[in-house]
Structure 1
Amino acid sequence: MLGDGEETPSRSELLSMVKRNSKLLGKTVLDEENSSDVERDPRFWHDVLDLYFFRGKESRRRQDDDLVFLVRKLGSQGYGSNDDKEDVSPYFVRRWAPKLDNVVGEISVDVDWRRSFYLNLIAHTSFTVTVAICSHQELLNHQAARDTPLSPIYKVVKTVYASPTRVNFQLDSKKEAETKPAYPDICFSVDDFDSTFDAVVLTETDHCYCVLLNADGGAAFPVDNKQHDSSSTDSSSRRTDTSNANTKNTKLTLFSGFVSYQMVRDAYDGILFSKSRFGSLLAFRNSPGKTDRLYMKGPGGRGEVDVAVSGVADQSHQDPGPFSPVVSKRGFGIGSIVRKAAAVATVAAKHAYAAAAASSSLDEEMVPLKCCLMSISLPWEYIANDLLFKPNPHIAGWATGRASFGLILPDPVE
């Protein structure tokens, strides 16, 4: 067993072992000649998981997330079977404990230890998503010559968390969400997507909607702690040391793509047309602000982006509404507050339409489109492979390595 009778390996040393035994990642047909016995040995992966997330020095220092994800073996308790039994989740979750065997107990025989290690490596890594509006022409120039500068017109950076669970957001007024297992896909959801990306509006035909997912710290970026005093018993001091040592550039891009305004517009119009049967522009005018879901396939078919798209209504001629007679004890009218908020929204909408009108052609009305990212999903093997093996050169600007991706229309409305 790893770690028995000798000093416990560090996370860096363990990750080196994992890299040497990860040749099967992404392969559906196992090549017996190119895979080692260790790579297929469940005991090896059990021990690596135990040392990396339970008994290792680093795992005891960093307890910001005490959830442990354990993947079931195919066929275990009905999972992966083809019969009519009730669906069984491909994984289960436990709370952290000092020893892995105490967490799993008698169901250890049902655990796929190899996949469990990779899933926890992903789940305990930190990620950020960048959503931006860029000029299509500048993107083309940048792709043709990497030294061409590229600055986003607008961007939002948001911390997201990897999860084997998919959140299906409802776009009606109730804003409800249902969750269900997504594994073997890993999802990065934005619960407050409507407020986080409220200002991400495409207002010109040259605009592109850009999405990047970066890993930037956590379990996949172990710190070499040999330079630190391992004899210290102050846990807060150890956490500080780990944080300071991990300030080097560790950003790694896992997903990068953009889609043009016209692609978004055509897909959005197609949905409205199928629902209204009266034409896209007429449908927009009859239901301003209507939000619909668009699925965008990643570059090369890798991954999927779920975006809530809505047309920004022209409020230049709308009445903000009657004055509210309700007044607080301090003399502030609720009506005046509502009108001020409405005025801010109106100004934003006017600016969007002014920009759109300035760049639109005579034969088609320019419709500003608000695009709110709800989630990104990627197969776990793609993520694990990138975290272990993708080169991590100096990132010259946030737009390095971008490629276009395509739109997928939802199922036709009956």
Structure 2
Amino acid sequence: MLGDGGESPSRYELLSMVKKHSNLIGKTVVDEQDASDVEMDQKFWHDVLDLYFIGGRESKEQQDDDLLFFVRKMGLHGYGFNDNLEGNSPYFVRRWASKLDDLVGESSVIIDWRRSLYLNLIAHTSYSVTVAICSRQSLQNYQSNQGTPLSPIYKILKTVYASPSRVNFHLDSRKEVETKPAYPDICFAVDDFDSTFDAVVLTDTDHCYCVLLNAVGGAAFPTQMPPQDDTTTSSETGQINKTKLTLFSGFVSYQMVREAYDAGKSGFGSLLAFGHSSGKTKTDRIYMKGPGGRGEVEVAVSGVADHSLDEFGSPHSPLHISEGGFKIGAMVRKAASVAQVAAKNAYAAARNNSDGGMDMVPLKCCLMSISLPWEHIAHDLLFKLKADVFQ
């Protein structure tokens, strides 16, 4: 076993070993001649997982999530071994325990230890997603000179979590969700997407909707890692400020979102796919593919209602409540008034920014999820480092 006969390797040393023996990541057809003997050795991956996620003090002290994921070996017809205890999911989950072999028991024989190590590395890394509205000119300037960060018109930063499960939100009843295995894809879902991104509204034909997923810490960033060229060290504290690792970045223009929203069907090839919700309100799902077809972003798009002509609080208004009514009536009127003001402002901005070629409609875009293949994420966590493009 790794570490026998001496001190166990540090997390940084273990990650260096993993990187050295990760030539197979991203290959759809595996040629065993391209792989090292270690890379094909399941015992090596078993021992690395044991040291990194079971025996390491750092993992027990700093991990917020004590779940460990184990990927099943793939049979001739895909995943599934008729194991009544685990079902036919491509993976199963256990809570952390002090001994790995006791944790998995007889299931050890069906575990792909190499893929399990990568899945846990992904699941126990920390992530953030940035949703921003940028101008087309700003994006063009960035693409021509990537040394200059983008200056977004508006942006929101949100913590997200990697999961081998996919959450299917029902737009007609957001309390209803379905969860099913997504692996070999990894899903980053935003459960409160409707409230988190309520203010992300495209109000100008020059606007672009931008999504950025970053890895920011956790298992893929061991504290023993020495300073690199793309990290900075504080002279006062001596602490390393790690650069964010960008895993996904993409954008679509207002026109693309608007045309998909109006058409209600796919019209953008690999860039955008489209699907309707069955609810009464006009809220639709748009799927954006990342550059080169890598990854998928799911966005709930809805038009902002124009209340500029409404006479709020009139006797004919459904929200009109007599003076003798409950005090909650005043609270409802106040909340609705705030919403109306926001909608009026959005429409005023839309009218002012209209270029005359398109009847401008403000569109609210709420990010629901990002999905990426696990091999892309694992490869980038091990081999790439890229700065955040936003200031």
Q: TM-score range by the shorter chain?
A: 0.7 to 0.9
CA distance in 2: counterparts of 1:8 and 1:148, whole angstroms? 43
Q: What is the SS of the residue equivalent to 1:40?
A: coil
Of residues 134-143 and 115-124 in structure 1, the stretch that sits farther from structure 2 once superposed is 134-143
Q: Which residue of 2 aligns with 1:412?
A: none
The alignment status of 1:346 with 2:354, answered yes or no, reads: no
Of residues 24-33 and 345-354 in structure 1, the stretch that sits farther from structure 2 once superposed is 24-33
Q: Which residue of 2 aligns with 1:299?
A: 291
CA distance in 1: counterparts of 2:323 and 2:97, whole angstroms? 58
Q: Which residue of 2 aligns with 1:407?
A: none
Closer, same or farther: CA 382–20 of 1 in aligned 2, 3 Å? same
Q: Which residue of 2 aligns with 1:315?
A: 307
CA distance in 2: counterparts of 1:162 and 1:396, whole angstroms? 19
Deviations 1:173-192 (A, max 9, x none): 35311000000000000000
Does the CA-based 8 Å contact 2:245-2:388 persist in structure 1?
no
Q: Which residue of 1 aligns with 2:330?
A: 336
1:12 partner amino acid? Y
The alignment status of 1:33 with 2:25, answered yes or no, reads: no
Mapping 1:7-406, distance limit 5 Å: 7-75=7-75, 79=79, 88-148=88-148, 150-224=150-224, 248-271=241-264, 290-320=282-312, 321-323=319-321, 333-392=327-386, 395=387, 397-398=389-390
1:28, distance to aligned residue in structure 2 (A): 1.6
Does the CA-based 8 Å contact 1:67-1:96 persist in structure 2?
yes
Give identity over the alignment, percent: 69
1:220 partner amino acid? A
CA distance in 1: counterparts of 2:288 and 2:225, whole angstroms? 41
Deviations 1:95-142 (A, max 9, x none): 100011111001100000000000000000000000000001111122
Does the CA-based 8 Å contact 2:208-2:251 persist in structure 1?
yes
Of residues 309-318 and 352-361 in structure 1, the stretch that sits farther from structure 2 once superposed is 352-361
| TM-score, structure 2 normalization | 0.86
Q: What is the SS of the residue equivalent to 1:296?
A: strand
Does the CA-based 8 Å contact 2:260-2:266 persist in structure 1?
no
Of residues 263-272 and 381-390 in structure 1, the stretch that sits farther from structure 2 once superposed is 263-272
Q: What is the SS of the residue equivalent to 1:318?
A: coil
List runs of 5+ in structure 2 lacking aligned partners. Answer: 227-236, 268-278, 313-318
Q: Which residue of 1 aligns with 2:315?
A: none
1:327, distance to aligned residue in structure 2 (A): 5.1
CA distance in 2: counterparts of 1:44 and 1:348, whole angstroms? 58
1:385, distance to aligned residue in structure 2 (A): 0.1
Q: What is the SS of the residue equivalent to 2:241?
A: coil
Does the CA-based 8 Å contact 1:295-1:307 persist in structure 2?
yes
Of residues 245-254 and 172-181 in structure 1, the stretch that sits farther from structure 2 once superposed is 245-254
Q: Which residue of 1 aligns with 2:232?
A: none
1:317, distance to aligned residue in structure 2 (A): 1.4
Closer, same or farther: CA 146–74 of 1 in aligned 2, 3 Å? closer
1:337, distance to aligned residue in structure 2 (A): 1.0
Does the CA-based 8 Å contact 2:12-2:225 persist in structure 1?
no
| TM-score, structure 1 normalization | 0.82
Does the CA-based 8 Å contact 1:311-1:369 persist in structure 2?
yes
Closer, same or farther: CA 325–98 of 1 in aligned 2, 3 Å? farther
2:364 partner amino acid? K
CA distance in 2: counterparts of 1:273 and 1:124, whole angstroms? 36
Q: What is the SS of the residue equivalent to 1:309?
A: strand
Of residues 307-316 and 248-257 in structure 1, the stretch that sits farther from structure 2 once superposed is 248-257
Does the CA-based 8 Å contact 1:119-1:380 persist in structure 2?
yes
Report how many residues are paired: 361
Does the CA-based 8 Å contact 1:78-1:88 persist in structure 2?
no
CA distance in 1: counterparts of 2:4 and 2:76, whole angstroms? 30
CA distance in 2: counterparts of 1:300 and 1:376, whole angstroms? 15
Does the CA-based 8 Å contact 1:209-1:258 persist in structure 2?
yes
Closer, same or farther: CA 148–387 of 1 in aligned 2, 3 Å? closer
1:147, distance to aligned residue in structure 2 (A): 4.8
Of residues 181-190 and 358-367 in structure 1, the stretch that sits farther from structure 2 once superposed is 358-367
